[in-house]
Amino acid sequence: MPRRRTRTHARRQLERGGQRPHAARQRRLRVPRGRRPPYVGNLRSVNGSFVRLVVSHLCSHLGFRVAHTVFPLTALTVVGASAADAALLMGLQTAGFLLVGLPAGAWVDRWHKTLVMVTADAVRAAVFLGLALVWALGTLRMEHLYAAALVAGVTSVFFDVSAQTVLPSLVAKEKVVSGNAWMMGVESAATVAGPVIAGALAIVAAPVGFWLAGGAFVVSAVCLLGVRVRMPRAPGRGVYADVAEGVRFIAGRRVLLRIGVATGLFNLAWSATVSLLLAIMLSRGAGEAAAGVVIACFGAGGVFGATVVKRFAVRLGRSRAITTALAVPAPFTVLAGLTGRVPLWVTGVALFGVGASAVMYNVTQLSLRQEITPPALLGRVNATMRFLVWGMIPLGAALASAGARTVGPMTVTVLAGTACAFVWLVLVRLKADDGPGGGPDEGPDDGPGGAGTRTRPGGVSTRTPPA
């Protein structure tokens, strides 16, 4: 009587290149759960901490995007501010990256990342719920909006730096691009929903959105309570020494330095454009709800970009994908700068194109940064890059505010939108493996989870992003 084929025998046959027996074909051979690497293609197959991080990121950015649109709507329709005041208010929401962007990374590397994010959500929830209460009491003034925007912006620095630092420890290294695509996808979904919700609530009263934003941050904090992550902490040296180490790391990698300069220049010009769009649309007779839908087109483009970024990166290769993603939105930024001179649907199409390209660019360059940076240094490197690229946003908004008072809002948007179209030239002939003194060409890609991963001296991986 022939011996019965066991599951162990079936696995041995497969390792030797044999055919799978009929009995094993009916039931898939399972790998022990403890040995299964986290895979991000399907949220059902990853650990619960990553799922909670994604849900928290969605709620946090939904609150941020609702507030980001409610701030200027409240200033323009309730307080009676000018377009220049609204541009300055939007700039204050990102001023935190310019004020505490560099030391934030050193502090985050020393602190418990999850606790930092929970604290940031709690502070932002208290700020927005308090602001809604002040409006309900009928004492809301522009000074309150300025202070709330600044405090919320500073706490957002710590949340975003911590989230970027935690993600690589929750997924397998070859799935970092997929993990970032999930994070960027839910962020783009929040960018779609936030302005639409804010515009709809503005039909009743714009400050009602502050109640919703505060509640979203509460939900985000609750989700983070279940995130379990272990990461090495930086040694207890001085803050300035830690900051200098992050700056030296970026300065010594030409690819990171060029990406930082290009992104900073783009954000400088684009923030000058987008900070005046809402005021221009309202001044041209558009309703709050219609203006919110147009602004939401940026997030809709981001959702599309998140769905195609993996194939985009594999098809072009990492270096060309980064450069191309910054070059594609050139005609769209010019069209966005013509807001007020073109129909609203044209502005919506332009924002869709910029949003799609922005997500594809952010996913590819962020995955590269996370891949070549040592885990203990990642917080400082992320914070330094955020300081360099997001710190330009309040400067652009301040320039737009000053320009709106002198030459007019529509002239500012035309000039700034045109400037965005030429920033990609900084990344011409970019090499993703540029380290100190350059390096070899990129190695082959063996597909998802393949073996085509090599690491150069200095920690620079030469593997192209997985599919």
- Per-domain residue ranges for the chain? 46-227+236-427
pLDDT at 83: 81
Using alpha carbons, select from 391, 366, 432 the residue that is nearest to residue 165: 366
Joined together, the tokens standing for residue 53 give: 């991080």
Residue 118 confidence class, pLDDT cut points 50, 70, 90: very high
Q: How confident is the model at residue 438 (pLDDT cuts 50, 70, 90)?
A: very low
Residue 69 and residue 278 in contact, taking contact as beta carbons nearer than 8 Å = yes
Of 49-58, 292-301, 433-442, which range is least confident? 433-442
Spatial separation of the C-alpha atoms in residues 369 and 322, rounded to whole Å: 12
Tens of pLDDT, residue by residue over 215-247, are 999 999 998 887 776 655 555 566 677 778 888
Query: Residue 457 above 90 pLDDT?
Result: no
**What pLDDT is recorded for position 417?**
92
DSSP H helices in 111-175: 113-136, 142-166
pLDDT digits (tens, 9 = 90+) for 41-95: 444 445 678 888 888 889 998 999 899 889 988 888 888 888 888 888 888 888 8
pLDDT digits (tens, 9 = 90+) for 188-225: 788 788 888 888 888 888 888 999 999 999 999 998 88
What is the token pair recorded at 344?
């609203």
Q: Which residue has the higher pLDDT, 105 or 33?
A: 105
pLDDT level of residue 13 (50, 70, 90 thresholds) = low
Two tokens, residue 104: 């934030």
Predicted local confidence at residue 261, as pLDDT: 92
Quick one: pLDDT at residue 227?
Answer: 79
CB atoms within 10 A of CB 284: 13
pLDDT of 98: 82
Q: The domain 46-227+236-427 belongs to what CATH superfamily? A: MFS general substrate transporter like domains (1.20.1250.20)
| Cβ–Cβ under 8 Å, residues 103 and 78 | no
**Paired tokens of 370:** 């996370």
Q: Residue 451: pLDDT above 50?
A: no
| Cβ atoms 302, 356 nearer than 8 A | yes
What pLDDT, on a 0 to 100 scale, did the predictor assign at position 374? 84
Which residues does 374 contact at the CB level (< 8 Å), separation at least 6? 459
Measure CA of the first residue to CA of the last residue in the chain; give whole Å.
48
Torsion of CA 352, 358, 363, 369, to 10 degrees: -170
Say what the pLDDT of residue 238 is: 67
Q: Indicate whether 126 pLDDT > 90.
A: yes
Token pair belonging to 298: 């940026």
Task: Supply the pLDDT for residue 176.
Answer: 74
Residue-wise pLDDT tens digits, 347-396? 999 999 999 999 899 888 888 888 888 877 877 787 788 788 888 888 89
Answer for the pair 62, 121: CB distance below 8 angstroms, yes or no: no
Percent of the chain with pLDDT over 90: 24
* Partners of residue 455 on adjacent β-strands: 461
DSSP for 307-335, please give it: HHHHHHHHHH-HHHHHHHHHHTTHHHHHH
Ranges 67-76, 163-172, 258-267, 434-443: which has the least confidence: 434-443
Look at the alpha carbons of 452, 458, 459, 462 in this order and tell me if their dihedral is positive or negative.
Answer: negative
**CA–CA dist 169, 376 (Å, integer):** 11
For 271-295, the pLDDT digits (tens) are 999 888 988 998 888 887 888 889 8
pLDDT at 21: 47
CA dihedral over 466, 461, 261, 318, signed as positive or negative? negative
Residue 157 clears pLDDT 50, i.e. is over it: yes
Quote the CA–CA distance of 450 and 153 in Å, as a whole number. 41
Per-residue pLDDT band for 11 (boundaries 50, 70, 90) equals: low
What is the structure's pLDDT at 357?
A: 92
- Tell me what pLDDT residue 218 has: 94
Q: What was the pLDDT predicted at 331?
A: 92
User: Residue 137: pLDDT above 60?
Assistant: yes
Cα separation, 192 vs 200, in Å, equals: 13
Element (H, E) at 429: none
